[in-house]
Structure 1
Amino acid sequence: MKRLFVLCFVALVVGCAGNAQKNVKKEKKVYAVSKTNEEWKEILTPEQYYILRQAGTERPYSSILNKVYDDGTFHCAACDTPLYESKYKFDSGTGWPSFDRAVKGNIEKDVDYKIGYARVELKCGTCGGHLGHAFNDGPRETTGWRHCINGDALIFVPEKTK
């Protein structure tokens, strides 16, 4: 019995050590709009660079775009890709612009573990700029998703009046 216990213990340790410590390298994606860090610094404000290129987060309630509900589209501040239509914006009470869906095909989802657990990271599909995160606590009557986006990652383009 003792020998069976030792054999099982060794098999468990060897099995766990063989899989748990593998370093899986992620391939770096090439985006349609790619620039060096120096080029990004030239065209972005320091706040935009911090958020879009370094995956930073602005303080809640600091963005003027948090309360913008005019008709129009929110574009990526780095590459001008349309990301969110104002008709899908809602007040989540979190202090960041929130949307229940993005312009189809213009957002890329990734996983980030920066705060110790997995979160759905949202990036611009054209330049790879960090936008924010997605949470499943959005409006139940629509998609159920809340795209919590840094205002400094966006530029608002008003709809042209007819």
Structure 2
Amino acid sequence: MKKFALIFFALILFNCNSNAQSGKKEKEVFKVSKTDAEWKAQLTDNEYYVLRKAGTERPFSSKLNKEYGEGTYVCAACSTPLFEGKNKFDSGTGWPSFDREIKGNVDFSVDYNLGHARTEEHCATCGGHLGHVFNDGPSKTTGKRHCINGVAVKFIPKENE
């Protein structure tokens, strides 16, 4: 029994300290780059929390959750077009959801904040945290669900574009 416990402990010790976790992440440089103070001055408290601190808004709290008009969703920090209204769907999760992004305007990385790997989405222009992408979206289109914090985007109706 002691031998089993030792082996089990050794496995946990080595698995919890992988190269991916111990390697230092280089800071990414984005086209739009501001100091923390500049972001705080520009963004609301909620926008700052989500976009700059990778926070998550409460589900069903965004007025954009039930917005289905034609138009474009842009980054709330830098106005980069991120998602098209025609690709939005009701996922029932409480966050605006899209089956695809505007290619080249959204960057992806992996986060382990909940103890397992998730694909995180960022604005490719300013690095703002948008949400996460999952493989449980509409099977008739891409199969992807881009689960986006409503406070991280602004909706521009088609007639205003």
TM-score by length of 1: 0.86
Q: Which runs of 4+ in 1 moved over 4 A?
A: none
Write the letter of the residue equivalent to 1:83.
Answer: L
Counterpart amino acid of residue 96 in structure 1: W
Bigger Rg, structure 1 or 2 = 1
Q: CA deviation at 1:26?
A: 1.2
Aligned partner of 2:33 in structure 1 is: 34
Deviation digits for residues 59-93 of structure 1 (CA, Å, limit 9, x no counterpart): 00000000101110000000000000000000000
Letter in 2 for 1:90: F
Gap regions ≥5 residues in structure 1? 1-12
1:109, CA displacement in angstroms?
0.4
Alpha-carbon RMSD across the aligned residues, in angstroms, is 1.8
**Structure 1 residue 21 displacement after superposition:** 5.5
Structure 2 Cα separation of the partners of residues 135 and 89 of structure 1: 14
* 1:103-122 equivalence runs, <5 A: 103-122=102-121
Offset, 1:160: 1.7
Match of 2:96 in 1: 97
SS for the counterpart of 1:160 is helix
Counterparts of residues 1-162 of structure 1 (less than 5 Å): 20=17, 22=19, 23-160=22-159
Identity of matched residues, %: 62
Counterpart AA for 1:134: V
Unmatched 5+ stretches in structure 2: 1-9
For the residue of structure 1 that corresponds to 2:38, the secondary structure is helix
What is the rounded CA distance, in whole Å, between the counterparts of 2:37 and 2:105 in structure 1? 25
- Give the whole-Å Cα distance in 2 for the aligned partners of 1:104 and 1:118: 22
